[in-house]
Amino acid sequence: MTINLLSDTVTQPTNGMLEAMFNAKVGDDVFCADPTVNNLQEKIATLFGKEAALFFPSGTMANQAAIKLHTQSGDQMICDKWAHVYNFEGGGAAVNSGVTSALIDGDRGMFTAEQVQQLINPDDIHYVNSRLVCVENTTNKGGGACWDLDELKKIKQVCVENKLAFHMDGARLFNALVAKNEQPKEYGELFDTISICFSKGLGCPVGSVLLGSKEAIKKALRIRKLFGGGMRQIGYLAAAAIYALDNHIERLAVDHKNATRIAAVLKASSYIKKVEPAETNIVIFYTNDAIDDVDFVNKLKSKGVLITGMGQGKLRMVFHLDITNQMVDVLENVLSALEL
Ligand SMILES: *Cc1c(COP(=O)(O)O)cnc(C)c1O
């Protein structure tokens, strides 16, 4: 048995999802003529109370399109130092949009309205033009941490007062909604644009969406074309996303429960130095200084457990749809019996 905790992107489509894909009605989406894509876009826009949505091949492309539609070359984006849009999108903000990034030294990938305020430049020709604030929910490098909705409302206020656009990288937003028992519309009304991944906890093979106003999504359509992201009979993948919205949201609570359980096992282990709070499906932890993290990853691998080493002693497990109860039992036994 292999227990693959490398990421929630490793899931295989379920039989139900494959059946939904097989039965999808499709058309040429470049002509906006794929009925299943149109259904998906309408369904998720309605769910979040936004005017429109656009299907993208990846979360990176959805984020990059958002950055481009909110900015002009030479503008500045404000985000956390751990943000995916800054660290893990190949420098796309600079390459695609000519945008520089002002980084906030946040807490587990999250920051305050005050920290945003401090980074906004005055209207003076010497300074780069502050134009966009990006937040990430849940935070990836921050171990699946969830934002406080009240802090987001304060940041929104700062954005309105300073004419800044507000984008959420919501790759795992549904994990946050389930964990905090919040409603999609509470987020829809705060943000100009939100990106969401179907290929993470929701268990789809591919796909993300960008949500926004009609005007924003019209711009995003042009940018998606520019990025080479126009797709044809893509309803097969939109059908998987619709299936996930209908069947895979509430079950995220199972992943969260598994993560909490294993975080407690790690905390009680003599070889562990620190475990970050496991708010959703990600567990980040550190072994004792005497233990080499690469050796630790390999030792677990030899027992059929795959985890990620993130460097500097930081280790990560991600729980998802393909992790069964039986696997969590086995994992608990492996961790408890581990000799180092
Ligand atoms: C996965 C992820 C994305 C998008 O990644 P793709 O691999 O391009 O789909 C964006 N932001 C965060 C926080 C992510 O975890």
pLDDT of residue 313: 87
pLDDT at 331: 98
- Output the pLDDT for position 107: 96
Q: What confidence score (pLDDT) does residue 311 get?
A: 84
- What string of pLDDT tens digits covers the 340 residues of the chain? 899 999 999 999 999 999 999 999 999 999 999 999 999 999 999 999 999 999 999 999 999 999 999 999 999 999 999 999 999 999 999 999 999 999 999 999 999 999 999 999 999 999 999 999 999 999 999 999 999 999 999 999 999 999 999 999 999 999 999 999 999 999 999 999 999 999 999 999 999 999 999 999 999 999 999 999 999 999 999 999 999 999 999 999 999 999 999 999 999 999 999 999 999 999 999 999 999 999 999 999 999 999 999 888 899 999 999 999 999 999 999 999 998 8
Q: How many Å separate Cα 161 from the centre of its chain?
A: 27
Residue 79: per-residue pLDDT? 98
Q: How far is the CA of 135 from the centre of ligand 1 (A)?
A: 13
- Ligand 1: residue whose CA is nearest its atom 6: 59
Ligand 1: does its nearest atom lie under 6 Å from the Cβ of 58? yes
Q: Whose CA is nearest to atom 9 of ligand 1?
A: 59
The dihedrals phi and psi of 331, each to the nearest 5 degrees, come to -60, -45
Q: Is 215 exposed, middle or buried (0-12, 13-18, 19+ CB in 10 A)?
A: exposed
Q: Which residue's CA is minimally distant from atom 2 of ligand 1? A: 171
Q: Residue 93's closest CA among 74, 107, 112?
A: 74
Distance CA 50, CA 96 (A): 26
Query: Using CA atoms, how far apart are residues 50 and 67, in angstroms rounded to an integer?
Result: 18
Report the nearest-CA residue for atom 12 of ligand 1. 171
Distances (CA, A) of 226 to 197, 210, 287: 21, 16, 45
pLDDT given at position 203: 98
Report CA(39)–ligand 1 centroid distance (Å): 23
- The number of the ligand 1 atom at minimal distance from the alpha carbon of 61 is 8
Quote the pLDDT of residue 339: 84
User: Is the CB of residue 62 below 6 angstroms from any atom belonging to ligand 1?
Assistant: no
Domains of the chain: 3-8+251-337 (3.90.1150.10), 15-247 (3.40.640.10)
CA of 122 to the centre of ligand 1 (A): 32
Ligand 1 pocket test, candidate residues 7, 10, 56, 60, most atoms within 8 A of CB? 60
